Amino acid sequence: MPPIPPASQPPAMSEQPAPSTTPQRSNRLVVYAALAGNLAIAVTKLVAAGITGSSSMLSEGVHSLVDSANELLLLHGLRRAALPPTPAFPFGHGRELYFWAFIVALLVFALGAVISFYEGISHILDPEPMTRPVVAYVVLALALLFEGMSWTVAFRAFRRTKGRFGYVQAFRRSKDPTTFTVLFEDTAALLGLLIALAGVSASHLLEMPVLDGVASLCIGGVLAVAALLLARETKALLLGESANPEVRDAILRLAAQDPGVRTANGVFTTQLGPHQVVAALSAEFEDGMTTAEIETCVQRIEAAVKAGHPEVLALFVKPQTPEVWRQRATALQRGR
């Protein structure tokens, strides 16, 4: 195991293992399934909207087009995030995925929600009777089927990774935006389809075309909520959110167990990608240790950490007394 560089130097490129390709393949499967379903559904919805004149159907068609574009952006983000480290990006390009996931959240709001609001208001102000509503029913039934299949793929992938946590907690803790973004999109799409079905049915059966516009407004509301939730989570990841507490606790535990460490003071972590973490450990070593002995101790800690958490690309160890650590940690928390 090569020695860990001191905190003032960038880590050697050879110390950074290539990210695992297994999660990447699983993520791509989820995105490809969503892309195939959304493209087919978008074309069908837009054709049906042209035939029936349904505002909610048009909103749903635009929604599916936006989702298709979003899947392409996520695939681009996955490809960019897998690029190897370079001198300009010594820890790799993992945060590119977070950037493109944030763009996806903005598109869901800007193109999906805003257009749905516009269509709904236009149809309420100038309602037009729906023609050939049976076409809309058939298209919505098929869309629910295809969207349900895509949602099932995304849901199973998310369930495999959530562990013992509840779904909401797992979403908040997740460091991989691809699966939860697709799951959110598909969930919003299913809700939108049910709203569109209710709007088309009410407009047809009650002979009140204005209700179709109301359904478009409701679809816009669903998309806006989904976009805001996605934006909040991906923004935190993009800005450098810390890794999950289990990683920090494991580093502290392993460091404290090493015979050369008197006190493991604390750990700071930052998430660079779904499976990429950089950590900084503050520790006080036993008195009388030579530089070579401290270096060997650091190597043991690093080897133990990477054995249990291979996502830790680099571990920086800073010799500090507990008092100095507490002072600096307190100052950092206060924003000094």
- In whole angstroms, what is the distance from residue 146 CA to residue 61 CA? 14
**For 46-86, what is each residue's pLDDT tens digit?**
888 888 777 777 877 887 888 888 889 889 998 898 888 88
pLDDT of residue 135: 82
**For 145-204, what is each residue's pLDDT tens digit?**
888 888 888 888 888 877 778 888 888 888 888 878 888 888 888 898 899 889 888 888
- In whole angstroms, what is the distance from residue 70 CA to residue 104 CA? 5
Helix, coil or strand: residue 240: coil
**For 84-103, what is each residue's pLDDT tens digit?**
888 888 888 888 999 998 99
Residue 45 has pLDDT above 90, yes or no: no
Which two structure tokens, joined as six digits, stand for 188? 């919003």
- In whole angstroms, what is the distance from residue 248 CA to residue 267 CA? 6
pLDDT of residue 22: 52
The string of DSSP codes covering 189-238 is HHHHHHHHHHHHHHHHHTT-THHHHHHHHHHHHHHHHHHHHHHHHHHHHH
pLDDT of residue 20: 44
Average pLDDT over residues 246-264: 94
Identify the band that residue 5 occupies on the pLDDT scale cut at 50, 70 and 90.
very low
pLDDT of residue 26: 62
> For residue 177, what are the contacts with CB-CB under 8 A and spacing of at least 6?
74, 97, 98, 101, 230, 233, 234, 237, 274
Of 308, 309, 302, 300, nearest in space to 258 by CA: 300
Of 1, 115, 11, nearest in space to 60 by CA: 115
User: Measured at the alpha carbon of residue 97, what is the angle toward residues 94 and 98, in degrees to the nearest 5?
Assistant: 100
- In whole angstroms, what is the distance from residue 315 CA to residue 278 CA? 6
Identify the band that residue 332 occupies on the pLDDT scale cut at 50, 70 and 90.
confident
Asked if 304 and 315 touch (Cβ cutoff 8 Å), the reply is no
Asked if 308 and 282 touch (Cβ cutoff 8 Å), the reply is no
Residue 126 has pLDDT above 90, yes or no: no
